[in-house]
Amino acid sequence: MTEPNDSRVGLYIDFDNIVISRYQQLHGRNAFQRDGIRDFVTSGADADPDIAARLKAATVNFDAIIDFAASFGTMVVNRAYADWSVPVNASYQRQLMSRAVDLTQLFTTTTRGTKNGADIRLAVDVVEDLFRLPDLTHIIIVAGDSDYIALAQKSKRLGRFVVGIGVAGSTSTSLAAACDEFEDYDSLPGIEKIDPSVSTSTTNSGRGRGSSAAKSSTTSSSAGSAGVAGSADDSDAAAAAAPTKSRRVSTIPMFSHTDDSQFDDAEPADDIDPQTVATELLMRALQIGHAKGDADEWLNTGTVKNQMRRMDPSFNEKPLGFRSFTDFLASHDDMAELADDGPQRLIRLRPGTGTGSAA
């Protein structure tokens, strides 16, 4: 029986967002539309094997997402929003239903598809649940779309702990900042790490066949669009070659993209090294901790990490190459010193470090 003080979790999955973002993370911007994934049937007699291989490589592990969500408490709401008649969506139904996910159907109501349909329906359901289920303590939104910023802010104002999960490169930094905690899909336990060089080479091989399979047009229109297709391929190749940290793109993913359906503009590129950003974040967290007490006071490392995540909900030491937060702290022994107090691990700035410096 669930105890009254147990955390109770609501999980809301923008299915289109996470699936499209993952595919384009591995195979390049606009690859989902270019390869015609919306209507692609893997078992079809004329199915392009190269596209089938790329689609398999980009399969999203929803078991890992649900397991992570369950770590926060008892799952009382578990919904995924999509048009489940789409072949690529239907291939996930068995996996989701085995985890008791409520598959919310989004019907196509116009010839241009269901633009922002999942965003609106998901937001309406979350707000309704916030008032209908007063014991709901955690809201977990699986999406990277900036449209969910207001929803995250409203949930926090109503006293809920908000967690976001998104795909690196397709997540709005503003959405991450609006959450109490934000996790990249790749950093979740159980997610197999993908070598970017492998996915890039896979994208480049068979791109011509993928492009032709994604388009159906007359002979004359095909010839007229050849130059455009070539420039698009060049753009995709350049995007794939760019560092991951410079490809933070806020998207409006949907399966009903048409040629004139556009993604959000990319956020300004940030060439700052993630290690540098994390070091500065640690410095500020320690300075804040010392400002609340004595300058040479020892701080609990757990308190310091909580402070860092409050300042930057997307902070996670594992993508930086550290197995634990303690390892991350140990790598900064030039600016901070560690000590043990029984079962507690303590930290403080070294004397003279960071004094008078700007945050």
Give the containing element (helix H, strand E) for 340: strand 336-341
Residue that the structure tokens 């300004």 belong to:
268
% of the chain residues with pLDDT over 90: 48
Give the containing element (helix H, strand E) for 245: none
Give the side-chain half-sphere CA count within 13 A for 293. 10
Architecture of domain 1-270: 3-Layer(aba) Sandwich (3.40)
Please, which pLDDT band fits residue 189 given cuts at 50, 70 and 90?
confident
Residue 24 has pLDDT above 50, yes or no: yes
Domain ranges of the chain: 1-270, 274-349
Q: How many CB atoms lie within 10 A of CB 294?
A: 8
Q: pLDDT tens across 142-156, in order?
A: 999 899 999 999 999
Average pLDDT, the chain: 78
> In the sheet where 344-349 sits, what is the strand order?
299-300, 344-349, 336-341
Lowest mean pLDDT, pick from 166-170, 237-241, 317-321: 237-241
Cα 230 versus chain centre, distance: 30
Contact 195, 68 (CB under 8 A): no
Q: In the prediction, which pLDDT does 201 show?
A: 45
Roughly how many angstroms between the first and final C-alpha of the chain, as a whole number? 48
Between 85 and 108, the more confident residue is 85
Q: In the prediction, which pLDDT does 135 show?
A: 94
- CATH superfamily of domain region 274-349: LOTUS domain-like (3.30.420.610)
